[in-house]
Amino acid sequence: MAQAYKGGDGSGTGTTGPGAGLRRQGGRPLGDRGYWRRGLVLAALAILLALVILLHAQIPNTVGNLGSLTETFLPWLGVFIPVLLVLGLVRRSATAVVAVLAPAIVWFNLFGGLLTDKTDSGGDLTVVTHNVNAENSDPAGTAKDVAASGAQVIALEEVTAQALPTYRDTLASAYPYHAVKGTVGLWSKYPLSDTQPVDIKLGWTRALRTTVATPQGKVAVYVAHLPSVRVKLNSGFTASQRDKSADALGEAIADEPLGKVVLLGDLNGTMNDRALNGVTAQMRSTQGAAGSGFGFSWPAAFPMARIDQIMVKGVEPVTSWTLPGTGSDHLPIAARVDL
């Protein structure tokens, strides 16, 4: 009696059909649901990361100013995206890999524009701002470095009484006009007038306002150094004094009678930090409008945040860039604007 034929691959399993050869390592078929069931924790972390980036403005500041702390380093949350992607691939989880698309899309929507080069040529006025550091051991070298930028206007913050004569003497030949109020100063190739301190609710002077008479007309220039912030384990992100000063600075700029305004200084906060809304709501960042990259300025050894700012109102940014390090813990930043 003839034996009935049983198709197969000779392995004795008798498996037939179009999916017989579609197997993964370990014998799992290609369509096995295990690839979607694994990595659910990684997928949840990816969705959480997307929500934090997207809804950062909803994170409350009531506990340790957690919202402002998150916003200060918000771009750096993007480093977790490739980490989650790699873990998803190692875990062989289709769910995790797909979920990583959520934070990636949100991050690129917020910061993708900063990765493109928006610099242009032209412009009427080049400005520089630099927190020179009160403990700077080489103020003369720092002054020469910032002057080498060729800027027509230079703002310096943390200018101590001991270092002021050095900055003044070093910059005198190239910048015949200068104004100093408290620990902030402005050096200019063009005449200055109507210089006055700006009350930012500190009890001492760390901001000034002056009029720069450029060939294209008068420009109101503000120089400000907002209070420092600290991250402490017992109290979180301590920034209440900075926040009050930012509000006062914003009010002063809002009352400015001139239509062209430039703000230079160390604001101890990034453009994403809601605490600076009093300023950022009415002015444009030159880095965001005409820069290339994030333009991080602090700390100089490994910049992680752009807390030094050049902002404008009634003026068109043309290009913005970061200068090489000096003897300070901040990097100088520069911008060229069209008046």
- By the 8 A CB rule, do 214 and 188 touch? no
d(CA 264, CA 283): 12
Question: Scanning the structure block, which residue is given the tokens 């200019």?
Answer: 188
- By the 8 A CB rule, do 197 and 219 touch? no
Tell me if 110 is assigned to some domain: yes
Whether residue 338 is predicted with pLDDT greater than 70 in this model: the reply is yes
End-to-end CA distance of the chain: 102
Tell me if 63 is assigned to some domain: yes
Query: With bands split at pLDDT 50, 70 and 90, how would you rate the model's confidence at 69?
Result: confident
Residues 219 and 153 in one domain: yes
- Segment 276-299 shows an average pLDDT of 96
Q: Give the pLDDT score at 22.
A: 40
Residues 79 and 204 in one domain: no
Residues 105 and 149 in one domain: no
Which range has the worst mean pLDDT, 24-33, 224-233, 265-274? 24-33
Whether residue 32 is predicted with pLDDT greater than 50 in this model: the reply is yes
- By the 8 A CB rule, do 296 and 303 touch? yes
Whether residue 252 is predicted with pLDDT greater than 80 in this model: the reply is yes
Q: Give the pLDDT score at 271.
A: 95
Task: Print the domain residue range for 55.
Answer: 34-115
- By the 8 A CB rule, do 115 and 293 touch? yes
φ, ψ for residue 56 (rounded to 5)? -60, -30
Q: pLDDT tens digit string along 195-237? A: 999 999 999 999 999 999 999 999 999 999 999 876 655 545 5
Query: With bands split at pLDDT 50, 70 and 90, how would you rate the model's confidence at 250?
Result: very high
Give the CA distances from residue 204 to residues 67, 120, 186, 226, in Å, rounded to whole numbers and listed in that order: 28, 39, 18, 11
Last residue of a domain, one of 90, 115, 140: 115
Query: With bands split at pLDDT 50, 70 and 90, how would you rate the model's confidence at 246?
Result: very high
- Segment 97-107 shows an average pLDDT of 98
Query: Diameter of the chain by CA atoms?
Result: 115
Residues 203 and 300 in one domain: yes
Tell me if 83 is assigned to some domain: yes
Top mean pLDDT of 19-23, 32-36, 62-66, 314-318 is at 314-318
DSSP code at position 58: G
- By the 8 A CB rule, do 28 and 81 touch? no
Amino acid at 285: S
Q: Give the pLDDT score at 107.
A: 98
d(CA 148, CA 141): 11
Residues 144 and 291 in one domain: yes
Q: Are strands 284-285 and 316-322 parallel, antiparallel or unpaired?
A: unpaired
φ, ψ for residue 155 (rounded to 5)? -110, 135
Q: Give the pLDDT score at 297.
A: 98
Question: Scanning the structure block, which residue is given the tokens 């070298």?
Answer: 141
Q: Give the pLDDT score at 55.
A: 96
Q: pLDDT tens digit string along 141-193? A: 999 999 999 999 999 999 999 999 999 999 999 999 999 999 999 999 999 99
Q: For residue 260, what is the domain's CATH number? A: 3.60.10.10
Structure tokens at 205: 């002077």
Last residue of a domain, one of 83, 115, 147: 115
pLDDT: is 269 or 9 the higher one? Answer: 269
To the nearest 10 degrees (0 to 180), the angle between helices 139-147 and 164-171 is 40
DSSP letters, 178-246, are: EEEETTEEEEESS-EEEEEE---SSSS--EEEEEEEETTEEEEEEEEEPPP-EEETTTEEE-HHHHHHH
Q: In what order do the strands lie in the sheet with 333-338?
A: 177-181, 184-188, 153-157, 125-131, 333-338, 316-322
Tally of residues, the chain: 339
Query: With bands split at pLDDT 50, 70 and 90, how would you rate the model's confidence at 61?
Result: confident
pLDDT: is 13 or 70 the higher one? Answer: 70
Tell me if 263 is assigned to some domain: yes
Residues 77 and 132 in one domain: no
Q: pLDDT tens digit string along 71-101? A: 999 999 999 999 999 999 999 999 999 999 9
Which range has the worst mean pLDDT, 20-34, 39-53, 61-75, 277-291? 20-34
Q: Give the pLDDT score at 48.
A: 98
